[in-house]
């Protein structure tokens, strides 16, 4: 085959599958609405099942539903008839996929599902099939042709089923009022979860890890404290001692301040940090979302923040490296 032939076949496959999905639009009617209502009213879990390639699609639909506010899981129909049917309760809802609507492993389950009294939504390519006529709601996902030139490998049909599953999941998501925060709760390990759930208090340095000096400390003492704590800054407090329980922040001294200080060539043994610090510095509170700390740093072109409460009492400290380690950046 020539390279041109490869390209032509690839385009033909994509066109066939795109047409299969596009054809679903004209078929959406009250049955789709009823299916959404059934999912929304489900008091238990949504059990999605399918055999072979339809099983792979079912697994993905279940995962999409579960991550968008509709508790769901995939059940292998072959295993279901050998014990896994016990995972289903009378409060659950079953969504079954079968292009032919006659998959033996699926049809074998139908009498038991009816006996338990479970509602059934079917996605098939044959409205007159056993599965379609048995289901409470049938959604037609038939295609005019498979993208496979032999007409054998499930291609357009599985794409159509997947698209219909996504349509159900996203419509129900909107109906539930599902938010970004809700999505993050079910994806705590993902970028969105970290961005929306992680708070400053989760990553800030506390206690003896906070670099602190009093306002009368010399620049040398301040530099030593910055070096020991390794955050590229030191919080300056109004107390004459670091032994007190609560410290009110009066300023900050950073690596940037250090560079500006040495342009003036002071005596670091005698010069006080209060004469070179940044007073009324930018701060953040511990309950703030960590991504807000990143935004504050970027907007103000700084690399570190002191964490304070509403009374400007120091709670902690963090820098850009802490945000990097937490995966916020």
- Mean pLDDT on 254-276: 87
Residue 159 CB: number of other CB atoms within 10 A?
Answer: 22
Quick one: pLDDT at residue 243? 55
* Rounded percentage of the chain residues whose pLDDT exceeds 90: 64
Q: Pick the closest to residue 164 from 321, 22, 49 (CA basis).
A: 22
Task: List where CATH 3.40.50.10490 sits in the chain.
Answer: 3-178
pLDDT band at 264 (very low <50, low <70, confident <90, very high): confident
* Rounded percentage of the chain residues whose pLDDT exceeds 70: 91
pLDDT in tens, 163-194: 999 999 999 988 887 666 656 555 555 555 56
| Edge-first strand listing for the sheet containing 314-319 | 283-284, 304-308, 314-319
Higher per-residue pLDDT: 153 or 250: 250
Q: Give the chain's length.
A: 329
Quick one: pLDDT at residue 261? 87
Question: Beta 304-308 vs 283-284: how paired, if at all?
Answer: parallel
Residue where the block lists tokens 């560079």: 259
pTM of the model: 0.66
pLDDT in tens, 24-39: 999 999 999 999 999 9
Structural fold of domain 200-325: CBS-domain (3.10.580)
CA–CA distances in Å: residue 249 to residues 38, 99, 135, 234:
57, 68, 67, 10
- Mean pLDDT on 2-6: 76
Quick one: pLDDT at residue 240? 59
Cβ burial, residue 146 (10 Å; 0-12/13-18/19+)? buried
- Mean pLDDT on 75-79: 93
Sign of the Cα pseudo-torsion (266, 231, 274, 297, in order): positive
110-134: buried (b, 16+ CB within 10 Å) or exposed (e) per residue? beebeeeebbbbbbbbbeebbbbeb
Quick one: pLDDT at residue 168? 96
Q: Which residues pair with 305 in a beta bridge?
A: 318
pLDDT band at 69 (very low <50, low <70, confident <90, very high): confident
Task: List where CATH 3.10.580.10 sits in the chain.
Answer: 200-325
pLDDT band at 263 (very low <50, low <70, confident <90, very high): confident
Higher per-residue pLDDT: 182 or 155: 155
Which CATH superfamily hosts domain 3-178? Glucose-6-phosphate isomerase like protein; domain 1 (3.40.50.10490)
- Mean pLDDT on 148-173: 90
pLDDT in tens, 92-129: 999 999 999 999 999 999 999 999 999 999 999 999 99
Distance, in Å, from the CA atom of 77 to the CA atom of 63, rounded to the nearest integer, reads: 17
Higher per-residue pLDDT: 130 or 246: 130
- Helix, strand and coil percent figures for the chain, each rounded to 5: 45, 20, 35
């Amino acid at each position: 085959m020539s390279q041109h032939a490869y390209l032509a076949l690839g385009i033909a496959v994509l066109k066939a599958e795109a047409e299969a999905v596009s054809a679903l639009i004209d078929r959406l009617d009250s049955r789709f609405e009823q299916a959404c209502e059934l999912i929304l009213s489900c008091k238990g879990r949504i059990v999605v099942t399918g055999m072979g390639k339809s099983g792979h699609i079912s697994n993905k639909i279940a995962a999409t539903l579960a991550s968008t506010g509709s508790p769901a899981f995939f059940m292998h129909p072959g295993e279901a008839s050998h014990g896994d049917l016990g995972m289903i309760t009378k409060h659950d809802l079953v969504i079954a996929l079968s292009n032919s609507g006659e998959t033996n492993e699926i049809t074998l389950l139908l009498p038991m599902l009816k006996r338990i009294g479970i509602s059934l939504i079917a996605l098939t390519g044959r409205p007159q099939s056993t599965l379609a006529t048995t289901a409470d709601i049938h959604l037609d996902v038939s295609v005019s042709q498979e993208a496979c030139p032999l007409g054998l490998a499930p291609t357009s049909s599985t794409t159509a089923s997947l698209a219909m599953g996504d349509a159900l999941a996203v419509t129900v998501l909107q109906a539930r009022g599902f938010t970004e925060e809700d999505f993050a709760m079910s994806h705590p390990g993902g970028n969105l979860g970290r961005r929306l759930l992680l708070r400053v208090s989760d990553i800030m340095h506390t206690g003896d890890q906070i670099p602190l000096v009093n306002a009368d400390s010399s620049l040398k003492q301040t530099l030593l404290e910055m070096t020991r704590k390794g955050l590229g800054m030191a919080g300056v407090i109004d107390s004459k001692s670091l032994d007190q329980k609560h410290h009110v922040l009066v300023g900050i001294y950073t690596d940037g301040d250090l560079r500006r200080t040495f342009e003036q060539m002071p005596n670091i043994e005698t010069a006080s940090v209060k004469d070179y610090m940044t007073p009324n510095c930018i701060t953040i509170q511990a309950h703030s979302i960590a991504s807000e700390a990143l935004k504050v740093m970027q907007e103000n072109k700084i690399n570190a923040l002191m964490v304070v409460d509403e009374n400007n009492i120091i709670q902690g400290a963090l820098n850009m490296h802490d945000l990097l380690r937490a995966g916020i950046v």
